[in-house]
Structure 1
């Protein structure tokens, strides 16, 4: 439990789940979270196509993915905490509307400047997904909160895992711009439904915006569980982003010569990661979070050992995609469980700090993918990709060996 929460972090006074949440609204929230989160991943299998179309140098192609992830981190820091002080319905709908505008710009506006500006804005405004999850938790009765949040997170996870194959399939017929056009249609439908279905939630007056944002840095510095879990997953997400940005690039080349549809089938391997979430949750609930963390991080290392043999042989690459998704999704669930136990009154900010930390790691991984691949080859991807989770495992062994906090993390 957080020991350094000051008076400024006092609970927001409001009825606990006073309005309730029905099945229809839960489905809308799950679909919205999935569609918004997917925006960050559509470009991963498309960077080679986007680069060829826009004249972007090959060594810089992965920075397209980086721009979306950096944008998301900005949104997590600057926008998501507003859910603690601003009426939630207006905040979510306004952010979603800006997401729709940015997707339209990405699909229609020419030039590299527009490409990166709109990608950054898509990333920033896709953080609306992380405003919806706390709203669902606040609307749900305490007795149903876990189930409701679990259902909404299933939608978010599904969007992440399906984004890559959907993007590859659509690009085969509509081009890369068409992928973001279709995403815009989905977000537009969500916005219209939200105007009618999303209820209001008015937090009690509390922090000013400056104090709210400043408290995020204090949480990272003062709360060791949050800091450790954020850094573990930053390393994991960096290796994850590196793999899923670089692997489609080599599949378009000799000896594979995949089409976009072929890459789509390959990226479907990531869907197996969804099976890691319930297993990781059960391990944590039974007091095995530490053991689960070791297993999850070790899976990421093993994935790059497999990937080492995948430069010219397909099946090790396919297996590596399955294994890394299993490890990363398991570690995400374990980390979320630990931070959500810290202080229920500031979950929006805890969530913002955790997500920002590891998405910055993801941005680092995706930014390294093209330069490493072009200058040093696939072996460099595998070495750095394995080294990042190995560093996290070392940090885990050093830091967690010195503490025996009650959560069993």
Structure 2
């Protein structure tokens, strides 16, 4: 029988939480297939529009660092809906933006407050039995990743059919509605008696005392940086010759990543069974191999789509393994641990987005692929160090 805090059997609640994660995460990605349309609307250089992607990830990283740790000291059932309402405000600002600067402002507000998903995931990890952690967190991550992928597709579709701003209006309304509905559904969780200042002192201690947290965060940061290079260059590549795709088709290309996103629940199950080491190496190998296919993506749409699908699978594998490891380190500090991990993760993403634009202007698509492959190999290097550290800490285990 499930314990009172075991929500793994409450499928309706898990689905609701997964949808919430997807909606919150997707709020940061609407602009990716819309770069050309936004550029035409505001009549600004494409480099300024591409910066919107970077601003979204930087603001999200700041929210992860300064807002997510509040989950260990405040009532999560009230904090999560409040954050979602803040994200809705940012989305409405984007919809009403009269210039690119106002769009940046709305993007920053939405990015800061859409970290509600990263408060929700530690809550779920606390509300299940330890042996179900990987499965439940993986399920929520599936919702989060599918939300990211669907957000770009839907944004492109609505842009082609109506206007690029419509996605921000509908998303803001959905965010407000779901925040009200979710408030009465979340399980009550204990708060920890800790001050805001003490939280950051504790996080500094975690960085010093938990080397695997640092190493797993760096694996995630490098992997997501490699993926984010595609986020900031996909529209630049696919809307130009020889493809010349419209916004909706650029968005539809990203749907191939759904297969990787849906795999996280199953990856989590295998990670729970002790296959973290193997899965981590497979994930890093897929990340590196995907860039070989992407290299030929400048002349072959099939090669680009195949590489895009593979890199999503590799990212899902490494990310699921990372979270399985870190959530077992300190059971009473899950929000702080998730804050550290996801902050570094999205700093990596922001750097990857900026690096993608830089590589594009430096040497086009081929330079973008060189930088992406280097990031994937760096993730593999951190994984090697992590395995060495773990072997020293507990030589009798294989995770």
Shared topology, TM-score over 0.5?
A: yes
CA distance in 1, matches of 2:47, 2:338: 33
- What's the offset of the Cα at 1:200? 4.8
Contact 2:138 2:267 in 1 (8 A): no
Match of 2:250 among 257, 263, 281: 263
Match of 1:61 among 39, 49, 53: 49
Deviation string for 1:201-229 (max 9, x for gaps)?
4514x111011123223312321111000
Contact 1:88 1:202 in 2 (8 A): no
CA distance in 2, matches of 1:46, 1:283: 37
CA distance in 1, matches of 2:366, 2:129: 51
Question: Does residue 388 of the first structure (1) align with residue 378 of the second (2)?
Answer: no
Gap regions ≥5 residues in structure 1: 1-14
CA distance in 2, matches of 1:98, 1:213: 23
Q: How does 1:7-406 map to 2 (within 5 A)?
A: 17=5, 22-139=10-127, 148-198=136-186, 200-201=188-189, 203-204=191-192, 206-401=193-388, 403-404=390-391, 405-406=393-394
- What's the offset of the Cα at 1:26? 3.0
**Bigger shift: 97-106 or 208-217?**
208-217
CA distance in 1, matches of 2:114, 2:50: 19
Instruction: Report the 3-state secondary structure (helix = DSSP H, G, I; strand = E; otherwise coil) of the residue aligned with 1:287.
Output: coil
Contact 1:276 1:327 in 2 (8 A): no
- What's the offset of the Cα at 1:159? 1.1
- Structural RMSD (CA): 2.4
CA distance in 1, matches of 2:33, 2:251: 8
CA distance in 2, matches of 1:135, 1:342: 15
Q: TM-score, normalised by structure 1?
A: 0.89
CA distance in 2, matches of 1:317, 1:359: 24
Contact 1:77 1:213 in 2 (8 A): no
- What's the offset of the Cα at 1:264? 2.4
- Pick closer, same or farther for the CA change 1:403–1:132 going to 2, 3 Å: closer
Contact 2:153 2:255 in 1 (8 A): yes
CA distance in 1, matches of 2:160, 2:237: 17
Contact 1:72 1:359 in 2 (8 A): yes
- What's the offset of the Cα at 1:234? 0.5
Contact 1:58 1:370 in 2 (8 A): no
- Pick closer, same or farther for the CA change 1:142–1:285 going to 2, 3 Å: closer
- What's the offset of the Cα at 1:190? 0.3
Q: Number of paired residues? A: 394
Contact 1:238 1:361 in 2 (8 A): yes
- What's the offset of the Cα at 1:237? 0.3
- What's the offset of the Cα at 1:368? 1.9
CA distance in 2, matches of 1:216, 1:55: 44
Q: TM-score, normalised by structure 2?
A: 0.91
CA distance in 2, matches of 1:278, 1:134: 16
Deviation string for 1:44-91 (max 9, x for gaps)?
222232233223322343221111111111111111111111122221
- Pick closer, same or farther for the CA change 1:251–1:106 going to 2, 3 Å: same
Instruction: Report the 3-state secondary structure (helix = DSSP H, G, I; strand = E; otherwise coil) of the residue aligned with 1:216.
Output: helix
- What's the offset of the Cα at 1:34? 1.1
CA distance in 2, matches of 1:346, 1:97: 25
CA distance in 2, matches of 1:378, 1:318: 15
- Pick closer, same or farther for the CA change 1:370–1:150 going to 2, 3 Å: closer
